[in-house]
Amino acid sequence: MRHNKKFNHLSRKKAHREALLSNLTISLILHKRIFTTLAKAKALRVYAEPLITRCKTDNMANRRLVFSYLQNKEAVKELFGVVAEKVADRPGGYTRILKTIHRLGDNAEMAMIELVDFNELMLSEKAAKKEKTTRRSRRKKADAPKAEAPAVEEAPKAEAPAVEEAPKAEAPAEEEKAPEAEAPAEETPQA
């Protein structure tokens, strides 16, 4: 019985599965983005993220532990060098899985798995969105009109006599313009 054994075995025995995940992890570290099936991508995320977490603390014990999983010096060097700098302040979630089209041969679900901090397009879009809106600015905008409203009401009261005289002078001008505006409107329906 296989009670509480919930990870995906990927239709492989243990040695074959570990070799597959190790090779996928090496490719992900070196290329920063790979295309594979959705099931392999989900299994790879579980395998690779603890290794990426290890690279945040660069010491000999962590390097040897990661090397025991990967067996590739270039990948370990890249992981503890370039990748460690990018993920230093990220508290997990180092990979992103995006579904793509199904494979033509067997209609398998395909996916792209990438390291989050190396996709420059999404990083620039996210930075632009964060600069535009914040929770704090919404509160200030909501409170600002209430504070300004009494100041606006007080200003016209002080200038009330000057404002009352100005509309009287403008009223005849508006009456003269009104008949001219009505005349072309009447001609339009006849034409």
pLDDT tens digits, one per residue of 15-43: 999 999 999 999 999 999 999 999 999 99
**Which residues neighbour 97 within 8 Å (Cβ) at sequence distance 6 or greater?**
38, 41, 42, 45, 111, 112, 113
Max CA distance (Å), the chain: 97
β-strand pairing of 95-99 with 33-37 = unpaired
pLDDT tens digits, one per residue of 156-185: 555 545 444 545 545 555 555 555 555 555
Helix, coil or strand: residue 72: coil
Task: Identify whether the C-beta of residue 76 lies closer than 8 Å to the C-beta of residue 58.
Answer: no
pTM of structure: 0.65
Q: E-strand spans in the chain? A: 33-37, 95-99, 110-115
How many CA atoms lie less than 13 Å away from 171 in the CB half-sphere? 7
pLDDT tens digits, one per residue of 134-160: 677 555 555 555 555 555 455 455 554
pLDDT tens digits, one per residue of 39-55: 999 999 999 999 999 99
Task: Identify whether the C-beta of residue 143 lies closer than 8 Å to the C-beta of residue 136.
Answer: no
The share of the chain scoring above pLDDT 70, in percent, equals: 68
**DSSP of 79-119:** IIIIIHHHTTT--S--EEEEE-PPPTTT---EEEEEEGGG-
